[in-house]
Chains A and B, each alone.
Chain A
Amino acid sequence: MALSPDLVAVLLSAKLATLSTALLLLLGTPLAWWLARGRSALRTVVGAVVTLPLVLPPAVLGFYLLVLLGPEGPLGRLTQALGLGLLPFTFSGLVVASVVYSMPFVVQPLQQAFQAMGRQPLEAAATLRASPWDAFFSVALPLARPGYITAAVLGFAHTVGEFGVVLMMGGNIPGKTQVLSMAIYNHVEALEYAHAHWLAGGMLGFSFLVLLLLYSRGWGRLA
């Protein structure tokens, strides 16, 4: 039995957000650690670059990603040379775009968590014979847990809600890149307001629940 197109879009959004969040936490951790602890003068520059998606219009970001990853772009040539093909208008392309787009929402809470704990817990761990890796996993990660929860929730919610970047990078291919926000857009275009209400209302409820969860546990304060 074929699933309804709306359900396909919802599932695709969930898959995209889950995958992106996992990648974001994986990439965001070393980045946030370096931004919080590093001594390099490059930190301010990198910090600003990571934060850019926060202020850029999604269409601008999507446009540049499309150009960079397109057949004539440097990254596009690279992915082709590596045998990965072209990323725009594929699900993988959406994942890459989402990771870039949502990065500040993950890096900032992590960076704050690492900064807030200070150096002392790690120094204490070192005096108790924990190697730097050991100290990171046994002390820094558990102490940064609230930061991780905030980062994961924000990264996930933000990816589910994105529209502009998806439109530019992924287009609107049903079952492939047609995510929830695209489906809502299509329904509105077709004047199918009842369908749009179901999806939009669901998103509203979802977003509200996410924030309720954050605030109720005292994680609502962000950068």
Chain B
Amino acid sequence: MSIEATFSLHYPGFALNVQLQLPARGVTALFGPSGCGKTTLLRCMAGLIRAPEGRLLVQGQFWQDGQRFVPVHQRSLGYVFQDAALFAHLNVRRNLQYGLARLAAAERRVDFDTVVQLLGLGALLERLPATLSGGERQRVSIGRALLGSPRLLLMDEPLAALDAARKQEILPYLEQLHDTLEIPVIYVSHASDEVARLADHLVLLREGSVLASGPLTETLARIELPLDLGEDAGVVLQAVVAERDSRWHLARVAFEGGSLWVRDGGHALGQRVRVRILARDISIALKKAVGTSVQNILPATLEHIAADSHPAQALLRLRAGPSPLLARLTQRAVADLALVPGSAVWLQIKAVALIG
């Protein structure tokens, strides 16, 4: 089962042309700068915009194909708007029940109490939207969408309108959804930290076209593309907590191709975690350094060298086992070390972020 989406749409000064095949589980991030068409694409998928040429197949059901266009209210979807879009005249409970009440009993797969508990909404049920904080509103909005038992959950920058603290308040809930529900999610974002934490599959959009689409780790490592993530260039690796060192408050997380010491985040042994390693935090040595403060040193093979946004710099893709890593070096360092694809090198990793 998968989601197939083909849309073609022309506005004055903007054109959307996409053809995508997306996994029907996990979180797919539509990522790109403002104006790249990610929200337009999401609205086309929901049916809120009727693209004149479009085809959308969701888990075996056509929502749009040729002349056939299933109206929004007949699609089994949930949509989370950037600013929550709660119904101002209904309290939280009745907002949550709005979609649920319009669903035949046999189609209700998501339980009211479960959602209330999952999103921590118990204390808010009798309140009106106007009395909620931005983060609370967005949690209600997510809950309302989930209670429609959708086959597909579409989220349009649900965290963009929130400040950093509120964002941190919601992210754990989203991660939990990701881990507990089997509803595929398409998540629009322009924030790379959200993508790193939540996404399994990444679609990069530029000016209405798909630049790349693939599993998160591999797609982030495609430096041959003009991604231009700047300081955010880097990879996200799936890892497992393999060892905890209580004396130094460190944990060793193992990924395919090596392991890394990180600050102990209180995760249990065997727990799956994500680690994010930014290109700027990796330096390269030809020999394994001794007498260094760097704790994480891994052998790797250089695979590809690409120009970076500034002519003084280069981005390098390396492999530690099957796992890709990115490093940002100066062009002079690349020349001094005579680095070429195939070179065996040592990665000195200065910082690793454990992201849930």
Q: What 0/1 pattern do residues 113 to 139 of A give for CB contact below 8 A with B?
A: 000000011011111111110110011
Q: Which of B97-118 contact A (CB under 8 A)?
A: 98-99, 102-103
Q: What 0/1 pattern do residues 61 to 94 of B give for CB contact below 8 A with A?
A: 0000000000111100111010101111100000
Bound-state Cα–Cα, A120 to B99, Å? 15
Given contacts A121-B85, A125-B87, 13 further A-B contacts (CB under 8 A): A123-B85, A126-B72, A127-B48, A127-B73, A127-B78, A127-B99, A127-B145, A128-B102, A128-B144, A129-B74, A129-B103, A135-B73, A139-B89
Contact of B102 (CB < 8 Å), options: A120, A123, A129, A143 = A129
Q: Which of A136-161 contact B (CB under 8 A)?
A: 138-139, 142-143, 145
Residue of B nearest to A145 (CB): B89
Task: List 8 A–B pairs whose Cβ atoms lie within 8 Å, in order of A's numbering.
Answer: A120-B81, A120-B85, A127-B145, A128-B145, A129-B99, A129-B102, A130-B98, A139-B87
B220 sits at the interface (CB 8 A): no
Bound-state Cα–Cα, A121 to B78, Å? 14
Question: Would B72 and A127 count as touching, CB distance under 8 A?
Answer: yes
Interface range, A side: 10 to 19
Interface range, B side: 20 to 34
Question: Would B48 and A128 count as touching, CB distance under 8 A?
Answer: no
Contact of A121 (CB < 8 Å), options: B48, B71, B87, B102 = B87
Q: Which of B136-174 contact A (CB under 8 A)?
A: 144-145, 148
Bound-state Cα–Cα, A120 to B98, Å? 15
Residue of A nearest to B74 (CB): A129
> Knowing A129-B102, A142-B89 touch, does A124 contact B73 (C-beta < 8 A)?
no
Residue of B nearest to A144 (CB): B89
Question: Would A131 and B73 count as touching, CB distance under 8 A?
Answer: yes
B46 sits at the interface (CB 8 A): yes
Bound-state Cα–Cα, A92 to B74, Å? 45
Bound-state Cα–Cα, A208 to B204, Å? 62
Contacts of A126 in B (CB 8 A): 48, 71-73
Question: Would A128 and B99 count as touching, CB distance under 8 A?
Answer: yes
Bound-state Cα–Cα, A124 to B89, Å? 14
Residue of B nearest to A120 (CB): B85
Contacts of B88 in A (CB 8 A): 121, 143
Bound-state Cα–Cα, A124 to B72, Å? 10
Query: Nearest chain B CB to A202's CB is how many angstroms away?
Result: 36
Question: Would B89 and A130 count as touching, CB distance under 8 A?
Answer: no
